[in-house]
Structure 1
Amino acid sequence: MRFAYKFSNLLGTVYCHGNLNFTPDGNSVISPVGNRITVFDLKNNKSETLPFAICHNITCVGLSSDGNLAVLVDEEGAALLISLLSKSVLHQFHFHKPVHSVTFSPDGRKFVITKDNVALMYHAPGRRREFNAFVLDKSYYGPYDETTCIDWTDDSKCFAIGSKDMSTWVFGAQRWANLVYYSLGGHKNCIVGCFFEANSLNLYTISRDGVLCVWKCDTELAGLKSRLPKKEIAVQKLVSEGEQDEEEESKVEEIHGKANPNQQEHGGKVKYSRTAKYFFNKEGDFNNVTAAAYHKKIHLLVTGFASGIFHLHELPDFNLIHSLSISDQYIASIAINSTGDWIAFGCSGPGLLLVWEWQSESYVLKQQGHFNNMMSLAYSPDGQHLVTGGDDGKVKVWNASNGFCFVTFTEHTSSITAVTFTSNGFVVVSASLDGTVRAFDLHRYRNFRTFTAQRLVQFSCLAVDFSGEIVCAGSQDAFDVYVWSMQTGHLLDVLAGHEGPISSISFSPSKTILATASWDKKVRLWNMSESWRTRETLSLTSDVLAVVFRPDGRELAVSTLDGQMTFWDPETASQTGCIEGRHDIQMGRRQLDKITAKQAAKGKSFTSLCYSADGQSILVGGSSKYVCIYSIEEQILLKKFEISCNLSLDAMEEYLDRRKMTEFGSLALLDEGAGDGNTIDLALPGVKRGDMSSRYFKPEIRVTCLRFSPTGRSWAATTTEGLLIYSLDSTVIFDPFELDLDITTSNVRKVLWRKEFTAAIVMAFRLNEKNLIKEVLEHVPCNEIDVVCSSLPELYVEKVLQFLASALETSQHLEFYLTWTQRLLLLHGQKLKTRSETLLPMIQSLQKSIQSRFEDVSKLCDWNRYNLKYALAISQQRGLKRSVESSISDEDSDTMEPCNKQPMEDETMHI
């Protein structure tokens, strides 16, 4: 239970590549992020990455018409059938070849996938209980090249597929006598999108070179004639309902089409004729159409181009509504929600996800991750926010609750190496390779301090003392540590003494001591109260990579290049423990490695350290897909987390893949032009952070920074895939504490019925069922809370506070739980101070919950106050208008009939 951390969310990556989907209600967007998918709830302003992953990057997502099921397909053709209700994997399947698109029929009975030049129609899972969820119904052949897109008619009778051979094919989903297949030409480039008109067989086709063709069919959907006699129609109806024998179900029908059918074959059958041909405004070959979407009800066509421009047209007249630019790179995917109000755009180059409301011309969602790797992160003191710094020079602040980035600072001009919060949580400080350390205000969202050295140096690490008044940064080229004042921005001192690049620095949380680590195999402790004199020097056996203080400041952890982690007492400068971590790194084999992964791991080490909130364990990570948690007292490995299973990243496979071996060696070591075009392009020498050339680059999996949440409920890691958050599973109900045979749910309710509230609370916590504890606490009258809190045993005070911290996040009884919290802290505060170090995570969790609810209530109060002011102003304005009108009417009545003048009531008093 203590280390049962599970994957919770993925931040910093909002879109990679693949198709976007809106849920049927139109309030959420499903976006593929690497080998996972993220659901962005636009109505409740929340994002959630589902807790399952596939082996490679996802290329296409098919969503069922009811929004309960989805089919995910990766680059290699492996598919997952998932339930969006239970957020679990239902079935696995492999198509053995890359799949280009997946689309469910509107009635939810079938879905079609396209691979190579074939369209395969499957029975949709979920209609009946079966062992194999992917049952093939028909295979459709016709195009000569790869297929690109699919669209269904509204009644699910037919579907159309576009191909790279510049043709569009219309197939019947059932056996129609007058429509088996139909091939449409007229384009000079590959088809990007094909769309049926609402309740019709009329078709729109769009090619990559920016040409739109309008096709009119001479037959309505009701005019399609079944080819089966009545008996066979009844049999097929039984098949759709799942009542036919398994032998008949296993028969797969193949439909072969011809590109140029004879005229006799179309005698008396469905015919298409092109009624119009339109051209988009094209500016050179680069401005090709890359994505398209069409809303049938409002006749809205959205097209995206390679230059980042998108157009909105009204069909069939092709009237231009909007033409705007959202990026300087191509638009990879477009989706429109069910009402037609919101349009989602995905740009895979910058990793941008944008939801735009075209009628009001406003953003609903605009999120973008770091363009390159994330290098550092930090938690705010209350655990509600995270700040990350990347190689793109941007500093982003994220909300840990909803997963959205709410501010981005772009003042730095080079890679960010370190970020941190001050103790009050309102200031973010960042260090960069551009030679500056900057402080950002989270109230006004501005850069209010810029710290520089006497000469241009590259800062590699950063630390801020507990008071927030002193800022220190270490350089990797000058071997010095620079000290500034936060208030004035002036350089106070330069700490010299190291003989190598400064790799890490850390302030003690309890004393005025600064620890600096360097590649010169030394850790120096500087005393801030004694004019920055060197207090101690710790000598190690290898280059020092990271140093960190324990939360209470009584211990120092150091990671070195030889894979060891040593623990020191900063008071006596004596070593208290050592952990050998080389055997637990377990690095994967890279494509260009000539040695085994086991041998390569011997030269690796942990580059990031972080103490847990209670200081009893340490979290470590490095150039590996594993994150380890060690017990400091026992000096043993407690748990190992695999942060990714994405084989699209480098250094993931632990063993050599024989399929990539040739008689001349590894396929990855061959030149680009030496083979038949199927070889892997070599990356530039020494490139690790992205290949800016046009050649192929496969990023390597690694962990650059690790941080524990101050509440101890979660930890975060910046990796190649993004910002991963692991948290404790809150759904586990049964975790007994001092459980006896007499403690049952019925006995707890009996004691509660007798109004023995303290005994009922103790029994409920021993059984430790969340719903039962909630029931018992909420049955305590408000006037009895003081008595119950004073009679609670000290052991259960901590457990009640911990439950209140979690209950405050979701409960509507805000005042009731705040009363419990206040009385417990007032009555037992002195006793809790003696164990403040162990209770710190729980107190910070309680503070986080109260602060979050305070922000929600304050926003609601401000909203109500502004509404009341507005209503009062409107009422006063109307009352003034009525009084003026009444005075004018009085004057008129005086002139017209002075003898019939009657006193009028003041209507403003009633208002």
Structure 2
Amino acid sequence: MKFAYRFSNLLGTVYRCGNLNFTCDGNSVISPVGNRVTVFDLKNNKSNTLPLATRYNIKCVGLSPDGRLAIIVDEGGDALLVSLVCRSVLHRFHFKGAVHSVSFSPDGRKFVVTKGNIAQMYHAPGRKREFNAFVLDKTYFGPYDETTCIDWTDDSRCFAVGSRDMSTWVFGAERWDNLIYYALGGHKDAIVACFFEASSLDLYTLSQDGALCVWQCDTLPEGLRLKAPTGWKADLLQREEEEEEEEGAERETTVRGKATPAAEEQQGKVKYSRLAKYFFNKEGDFNNLTAAAYHKKVHLLVTGFASGIFHLHELPEFNLIHSLSISDQRVASVAINSSGDWIAFGCSGLGQLLVWEWQSESYVLKQQGHFNSMVSLAYSPDGQHIVTGGDDGKVKVWNTLSGFCFVTFTEHSSGVTGVTFTTTGYVIVTSSMDGTVRAFDLHRYRNFRTFTSPRPTQFSCVAVDSSGEIVSAGAQDSFEVFIWSMQTGRLLDVLSGHEGPISGLCFNPMKSVLASASWDRTVRLWDMADSWRTTETLALTSDALAVTFRPDGAELAVATLNAQITFWDPENAVQTGSIEGRHDLKTGRKELDKITAKHSAKGKAFTTLCYSADGQSILAGGMSKFVCIYHVREQILRKKFEISCNLSLDAMEEFLNRRKMTEFGNLALIDQDAAEEGGVVIPLPGVKKGRCWAATTTEGLLIYSLDAQMLFDPFELDTSVTPVRIRAALRQRDFTRAILLAFRLNERKLLQETLEAVPWDEIEVISSSLPDLYVEKVLEFLASSFEVSRHLEFYLIWTQKLLMVHGQKLKSRVGTLLPVVQFLQKNIQRHLDDVSKLCDWNRYNLQYALAVSKQRGLKRPSEPPGSGEEADASEDDDDSLHLLGGGPGHADGPLA
């Protein structure tokens, strides 16, 4: 259980590529993020990433009409059938080619995928008991170029497919006699989207050059006739009918889909005629249409363009409702929820996801990740927030519970190289290549301090002491360490002595000692209380890349360029151990590399280190897809995590693809255009905080937390510990024995039943009788219960009594208890924030209601009944009641 970390959530990236989808209730957006899928709950203000990953970036997502199943297809044609209820993969399938789009039929019985110039219809999984979840029904041919889009009729009888050859094809999902296929032209560019009108075969087609064609069908959906079977099917059908007639059963031949030749002559083939053609670019400017969505009930058409502009039109009159710009980048995907109120936009160039409420013209959701790679991160002391810095110069603060970014600071004009929190958790200090170190206040969301050097320099790292009064930053070009005062912003001193760029800084948590690591193969310890002089210089065998202190300050860890992690005693300047990590830093071969992955790994090293809260383990990450946890004392690898398996990123495979090898060498080295994309490396700085740790990667901010799904993890279990004996002890009111037995069996539901059976006035007595070994386990259970339980006061009483009774004894084991205490503090602080906001809002509402009632009471004696002033006062009273029900404290309030 101690290292049973599982992928928990993906922050920092909200949209990468692919199509957006709303859930069937219209309250959540399903967004593909690289090779993962994130669900944004707009009602509850939460985001959650599904615990699955594809081999390549996701190309399209198809959602079933009931919202229970999703088909996720990546760029390589591999598909995952995912249950959105249990959040697990049910089936894997390969379409043997790149798939452009996938769409379920409205009745949920079939789905269509488009790949190449064909469309394939499959039986929807789960409808029949079949060995293979994906059973091919029909393959439709017609387009001469790649297919681009799909849309179904409401009755699932037909579907339309758009193509790059400027044509749209209407196919019958069944063997209709009067509609096998129908091709529509009229466009001069590739088809972007096609939509059927509600309960009709009328069609709208949109092309890339901004043209909209309205097509009218001369046949209603009910007018489609099933084709009479021929050959052996007809003989079999006739034989069955003869048998039924012999038995006396009367059946109509029209039920079988047969029609008389006269009726077939009267009802001809389905025909389409173009009613109108509209153009979006009326001014003549060249602006490609890139995405579109249509809501059939409210007749709302939403179109997105390459310039970041989107239009809202009412069809079929083509009346313009809105024309707004959300960015200067291409709108890659558009989706409308079931009620037609919210519109989701995805911009792949900026990694931006927007949800727009078009009637009130307000944002429901507006999230954007870092434009370039994330470089550094830091947890807040209570674990509720994470701050990240990127190469785009932005500093973003994320809520670990909701997964949303709630503030972005853009004061830096160049890449951010380091971020850190002060011990209070309300101040963020960042360093940047623009030559400034800035301090940001999380109360007022402003930059209240800017630290600079006498001459321009580039800062590569930053650190703040435990008191929050001293700020230090290391220079990359002048090889100096600068010290400032947080209170005054003045430069206190410049520490010289290093002969190479400063790569890392760290303050001792217990003493005023600063450790600075440099490329000159040394780590220097500076005494902040004694005129900032050098106390020790630790000589290394290679360039230092990262340095960190153990939480108790009694040990120092240094990562060097030769892939080693060395441990030092800072008091005596003696090396206590080392770990060789080269074999654990397995890297892949980039497309443009001329050497193999084995030789390339010789130049790799760990670039970031972080101790666990108890100091027994250390977390290390570098230019690799692996993050390692080592045991410090035993110097062995405890666990290795593979951060990503996305083969769309460069340097993920150890060997190059043979298909890209020619007689002249690697194809990427020959083709000069391939060098423009560049190799994508995966920097992995990580921070570990007790029960969870995070890593900044090319794909975003990955959070790993302890797996809570392990149901049976006993402790000192023997044959006498059974649920029957635990409940018998509860009936005998022997609560201490029942708690001890329950924690030895360690089943969560039984633990909850046992603790909640204790009367609140006996909690203090029971707490004092618990052994010290079980106090930690009870605190850990209480910390996890705060996340889900509604018995807030009851568990707070348990927590208070345990800490008051065993506080002195727990101080001796502060190292091992630190993760539990931090987990407890995080959950209690979250409840404090939520309850305090609710109380403040209620207090303001009551004050407003009292003010209105006093105003009404003052007016009433001087005015006769039924006067205009009294009527106005009653209207004000109604407004106050409406405000109490629907203000920001209401469930729907934060969405606006």
Please give the TM-score of this superposition, normalised by the length of structure 2: 0.92
Counterpart of 2:894 in structure 1 is: none
Counterpart of 1:54 in structure 2 is: 54
Cα distance in 2 between the residues matched to 1:126 and 1:888 = 66
Counterpart of 2:149 in structure 1 is: 149
Deviations 1:770-820 (A, max 9, x none): 111111111111111121112112211111111111111221111111111
Whether 1:699 aligns to 2:677 is: no
Cα distance in 2 between the residues matched to 1:164 and 1:117 = 9
Residue 99 of structure 2 aligns to a residue whose secondary structure is: coil
Cα distance in 2 between the residues matched to 1:234 and 1:645 = 55
Q: 2:837 aligns with which of 859, 877, 882?
A: 859
Contact 2:591–2:656, Cα closer than 8 Å, also in 1 = no
Residue 602 of structure 1 aligns to a residue whose secondary structure is: helix
In the alignment, residue 735 of structure 1 is paired with which amino acid? Answer: D
Cα distance in 1 between the residues matched to 2:152 and 2:830 = 46
Counterpart of 1:868 in structure 2 is: 846
Give the C-alpha shift of residue 878 in structure 1: 4.6
Contact 1:159–1:171, Cα closer than 8 Å, also in 2 = yes
Q: Considering only aligned residues, what root-mean-square deviation do their CA atoms show, in Å?
A: 2.0
Residue 120 of structure 1 aligns to a residue whose secondary structure is: strand
In the alignment, residue 845 of structure 1 is paired with which amino acid? Answer: F
Give the C-alpha shift of residue 858 in structure 1: 1.0
Counterpart of 1:894 in structure 2 is: none
In the alignment, residue 810 of structure 1 is paired with which amino acid? Answer: V
Counterpart of 2:256 in structure 1 is: none
Give the C-alpha shift of residue 873 in structure 1: 3.8
Whether 1:484 aligns to 2:464 is: no
Cα pair distance change 1:234/1:221, threshold 3 Å: farther
Cα pair distance change 1:813/1:192, threshold 3 Å: same
Report which stretch shifted further, 173-182 or 379-388.
173-182
Give the C-alpha shift of residue 299 in structure 1: 0.2
Counterpart of 1:99 in structure 2 is: 99
Residue 100 of structure 1 aligns to a residue whose secondary structure is: strand
Report which stretch shifted further, 281-290 or 611-620.
281-290
Residue 864 of structure 2 aligns to a residue whose secondary structure is: helix
Counterpart of 2:69 in structure 1 is: 69
Counterpart of 1:740 in structure 2 is: 718
In the alignment, residue 740 of structure 2 is paired with which amino acid? Answer: V
Residue 817 of structure 1 aligns to a residue whose secondary structure is: helix
Cα distance in 2 between the residues matched to 1:649 and 1:55 = 10
Q: 2:699 aligns with which of 721, 743, 761?
A: 721
Deviations 1:722-757 (A, max 9, x none): 111111001212111111211111110110011111
Deviations 1:591-611 (A, max 9, x none): 122222111112211111111
Counterpart of 2:3 in structure 1 is: 3
Contact 2:479–2:500, Cα closer than 8 Å, also in 1 = yes
In the alignment, residue 814 of structure 1 is paired with which amino acid? Answer: L
Residue 729 of structure 2 aligns to a residue whose secondary structure is: helix
Whether 1:558 aligns to 2:558 is: yes
Contact 1:286–1:307, Cα closer than 8 Å, also in 2 = no
Counterpart of 1:544 in structure 2 is: 544
Contact 2:651–2:679, Cα closer than 8 Å, also in 1 = no
Deviations 1:439-460 (A, max 9, x none): 0000000000000000000000
Whether 1:846 aligns to 2:829 is: no
Counterpart of 1:130 in structure 2 is: 130
Counterpart of 1:731 in structure 2 is: 709
Residue 493 of structure 1 aligns to a residue whose secondary structure is: strand
In the alignment, residue 114 of structure 2 is paired with which amino acid? Answer: T
Counterpart of 1:250 in structure 2 is: none
Cα distance in 2 between the residues matched to 1:140 and 1:169 = 10
Counterpart of 1:784 in structure 2 is: 762
Report 1:71-470 matches (<5 A): 71-228=71-228, 268-282=268-282, 286-470=286-470
Cα pair distance change 1:229/1:130, threshold 3 Å: closer
Cα distance in 2 between the residues matched to 1:185 and 1:657 = 41
Give the C-alpha shift of residue 131 in structure 1: 2.0
Report 1:485-884 matches (<5 A): 485-672=485-672, 681-683=673-675, 695-703=676-684, 705-709=685-689, 712-880=690-858, 882-884=860-862
Contact 1:282–1:288, Cα closer than 8 Å, also in 2 = no
Give the C-alpha shift of residue 91 in structure 1: 1.1
Contact 1:648–1:698, Cα closer than 8 Å, also in 2 = no
Counterpart of 2:18 in structure 1 is: 18
Give the C-alpha shift of residue 414 in structure 1: 0.2
Contact 1:286–1:306, Cα closer than 8 Å, also in 2 = no
Cα distance in 2 between the residues matched to 1:227 and 1:308 = 47
Cα distance in 1 between the residues matched to 2:866 and 2:56 = 78
Cα pair distance change 1:872/1:492, threshold 3 Å: same
Cα distance in 2 between the residues matched to 1:307 and 1:883 = 63
Cα distance in 1 between the residues matched to 2:300 and 2:375 = 42
Give the C-alpha shift of residue 866 in structure 1: 2.7
Cα distance in 2 between the residues matched to 1:412 and 1:298 = 45
Cα distance in 1 between the residues matched to 2:355 and 2:300 = 16
**Which runs of no fewer than 5 residues in structure 1 stay unpaired?**
237-263, 673-680, 684-694, 891-906
Deviations 1:211-247 (A, max 9, x none): 11111111111111111369979999xxxxxxxxxxx
Cα distance in 1 between the residues matched to 2:867 and 2:270 = 74
Cα distance in 2 between the residues matched to 1:203 and 1:606 = 58
Residue 867 of structure 1 aligns to a residue whose secondary structure is: helix
Cα distance in 1 between the residues matched to 2:128 and 2:580 = 54
In the alignment, residue 613 of structure 1 is paired with which amino acid? Answer: A
Deviations 1:281-333 (A, max 9, x none): 35556411100000000000000011000000011111110000000011000
Residue 198 of structure 1 aligns to a residue whose secondary structure is: coil
In the alignment, residue 765 of structure 2 is paired with which amino acid? Answer: V
Cα distance in 1 between the residues matched to 2:697 and 2:234 = 56
Cα pair distance change 1:549/1:888, threshold 3 Å: closer
Deviations 1:549-589 (A, max 9, x none): 00110000011111111100000000100111111111111
Cα pair distance change 1:889/1:660, threshold 3 Å: closer
Give the C-alpha shift of residue 836 in structure 1: 1.5
Counterpart of 1:897 in structure 2 is: none
Residue 530 of structure 1 aligns to a residue whose secondary structure is: coil
Cα pair distance change 1:877/1:94, threshold 3 Å: same
Contact 1:197–1:296, Cα closer than 8 Å, also in 2 = yes
Cα pair distance change 1:878/1:154, threshold 3 Å: farther
Report which stretch shifted further, 277-286 or 327-336.
277-286
Cα distance in 1 between the residues matched to 2:235 and 2:480 = 85
Identity of aligned residues (%): 72
Cα pair distance change 1:373/1:234, threshold 3 Å: farther
Cα pair distance change 1:653/1:234, threshold 3 Å: farther
Deviations 1:98-119 (A, max 9, x none): 1111000000000000011101
Please give the TM-score of this superposition, normalised by the length of structure 1: 0.90
Residue 853 of structure 1 aligns to a residue whose secondary structure is: helix
Deviations 1:666-698 (A, max 9, x none): 1111134xxxxxxxx242xxxxxxxxxxx3344
Deviations 1:453-473 (A, max 9, x none): 000000001100000000000
Cα pair distance change 1:636/1:233, threshold 3 Å: farther
Cα pair distance change 1:882/1:105, threshold 3 Å: farther
In the alignment, residue 162 of structure 1 is paired with which amino acid? Answer: G
In the alignment, residue 458 of structure 1 is paired with which amino acid? Answer: Q
Residue 886 of structure 1 aligns to a residue whose secondary structure is: coil
In the alignment, residue 738 of structure 1 is paired with which amino acid? Answer: E
Cα pair distance change 1:281/1:885, threshold 3 Å: farther
Contact 2:591–2:679, Cα closer than 8 Å, also in 1 = no
Cα distance in 2 between the residues matched to 1:538 and 1:420 = 25
In the alignment, residue 173 of structure 1 is paired with which amino acid? Answer: A
Cα distance in 2 between the residues matched to 1:881 and 1:299 = 50
